[in-house]
């Protein structure tokens, strides 16, 4: 690719339709870098672009779990170097001047946009990213292994690290899938008593292999009663989409416990005010994390040997990888490779 004036990409051209294309190589504008992508995870949130769930300007390249090496710096970029391996997550990079940035709440920056939604993402050999959103990838992680940690990993790690749970507390992971299988590993290494919850018995063995102390089959047991038999959960991390799943998890909390919802859904969460008041329960949401939290997620993963279970496909098979992920048949993360 060196010296080429174009690069390969896969873009969404209409709802549900992905096509391979050639795009013109551009220099990064001020405050941005150009990255030669080596790997990009395929995440359920990519459906916001591919299915047109959010306002999209077609065509648009999806992908917000991208890892690659910087090959050009835009004007004014400091702290990053050509050749450095970096990651790009869902948040497109904070502006530094809005009220939330000025207050240190970078996740809530109102001017950053979403990678692969308002700006082209990582289903490509090359992408341009805002320098303020970059994450540093440690040498101990391959690009393929690092990719899913930039969204699924960062989201679950940050939610657990910022939760009220302390070492020794019962923490339940509701939904043992792409996010859940990473959350179980992080929770175990953080010192929690870990409960994995899903429907069916087929995930019991792998959940315990990855660190769960207990497995609850939601199709065969009352989840709330099973959690209360363990003393009640201080935190239930609800990785599965659906308001009903979040509401059901509430009954498994100990007094003062909290459900943290990670699954995006339009389904409303119906809660009992009586339960919330008299047991002092809480319901929170968690949207990914800051770039600094991303750096920490990657380092912690490398130190603790937390890793996603991955299936790789080459870039030109992006539509196939996306379809497999959306069908729920991926075990557990799909990653596109550019080589």
Check residue 275 and give its pLDDT. Answer: 84
Q: What is the pLDDT of residue 268?
A: 79
Q: According to the 3-state scheme, what is the secondary structure of 263-306?
A: CCCCCCCCCCHHHHHHCCCEEEECCCCCHHHHHHHHHHHHHHCC
193 has pLDDT over 70: yes
Mean pLDDT to the nearest integer, 45-56 = 92
- Give per-residue pLDDT as tens, 100-154: 999 999 999 999 999 999 999 999 999 999 999 999 999 999 999 999 999 999 9
d(CA 85, CA 68): 5
- Predicted confidence at residue 244, as pLDDT, reads 77
Residue 260 CB partners (closer than 8 Å, separation 6+) = 159, 163, 235, 236, 237, 238, 284, 285, 286
Angle between helices 180-189 and 291-304 (to 10 degrees): 70
Please state which CATH number belongs to domain 154-285. 3.40.50.720
User: How high does pLDDT run on average in the chain?
Assistant: 94
DSSP character for 179?
T
CATH match of 6-147+308-337 with 3.40.50.970: no
Q: What is the mean pLDDT of residues 192-202?
A: 95
Domain extent listing, the chain: 6-147+308-337, 154-285
**Taking 80 as the threshold, does the pLDDT of residue 222 lie above it?**
yes
Mean pLDDT of 166-177: 96
* pLDDT range class, residue 243, cuts 50, 70, 90: confident
pLDDT at residue 1 in the model: 54
pLDDT tens-digit series, residues 257-305:
999 999 777 777 788 888 889 999 999 989 899 999 999 999 999 999 9
Q: How many other β-carbons are positioned within 10 Å of the β-carbon of residue 58?
A: 12
Q: Tokens 């660190």 label which residue? A: 211
pLDDT at 265: 72
pLDDT of amino acid 260: 94
Calculate what percentage of the chain has a pLDDT beyond 70.
99
């Amino acid at each position: 690719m060196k010296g080429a004036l174009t690069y390969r990409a896969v873009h969404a051209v209409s709802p549900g339709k992905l096509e391979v294309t050639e795009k013109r190589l551009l220099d990064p504008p001020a405050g941005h870098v150009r990255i030669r992508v080596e790997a990009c995870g395929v995440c359920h949130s990519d459906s916001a672009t591919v299915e047109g769930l959010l306002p999209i300007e077609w065509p648009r390249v999806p992908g917000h779990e991208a890892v690659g090496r910087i090959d050009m710096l835009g004007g004014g970029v400091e702290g990053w170097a050509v050749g450095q391996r970096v990651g790009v997550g869902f948040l497109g990079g904070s502006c530094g001047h809005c009220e939330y940035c000025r207050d240190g709440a970078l996740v809530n920056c109102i001017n950053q946009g979403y990678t692969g939604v308002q700006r082209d993402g990582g289903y490509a050999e090359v992408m341009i990213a805002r320098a303020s959103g970059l994450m540093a990838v440690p040498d101990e992680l391959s690009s393929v292994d690092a990719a899913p940690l930039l969204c699924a990993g960062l989201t679950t790690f940050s939610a657990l690290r910022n939760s009220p749970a302390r070492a020794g507390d019962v923490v339940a992971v509701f939904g043992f899938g792409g996010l859940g299988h990473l959350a179980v590993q992080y929770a175990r290494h953080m010192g929690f008593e870990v409960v994995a919850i899903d429907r069916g018995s087929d995930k019991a063995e792998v959940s315990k292999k990855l660190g769960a102390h207990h497995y609850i089959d939601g199709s065969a047991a009352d989840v709330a009663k099973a959690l209360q038999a363990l003393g009640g959960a201080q935190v239930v991390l609800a990785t599965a989409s659906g308001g009903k799943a979040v509401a059901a998890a509430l009954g498994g909390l100990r007094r003062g416990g909290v459900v943290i919802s990670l699954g995006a859904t339009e389904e409303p969460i119906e809660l009992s005010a009586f339960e919330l008041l008299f047991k002092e329960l809480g319901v929170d949401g968690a949207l990914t994390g800051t770039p600094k939290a991303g750096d920490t997620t990657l380092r912690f993963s490398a130190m603790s040997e937390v890793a996603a279970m991955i299936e790789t496909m080459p870039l030109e098979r992006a539509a196939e990888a996306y379809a497999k992920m959306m069908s729920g048949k991926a075990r557990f993360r799909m990653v596109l490779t550019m080589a």
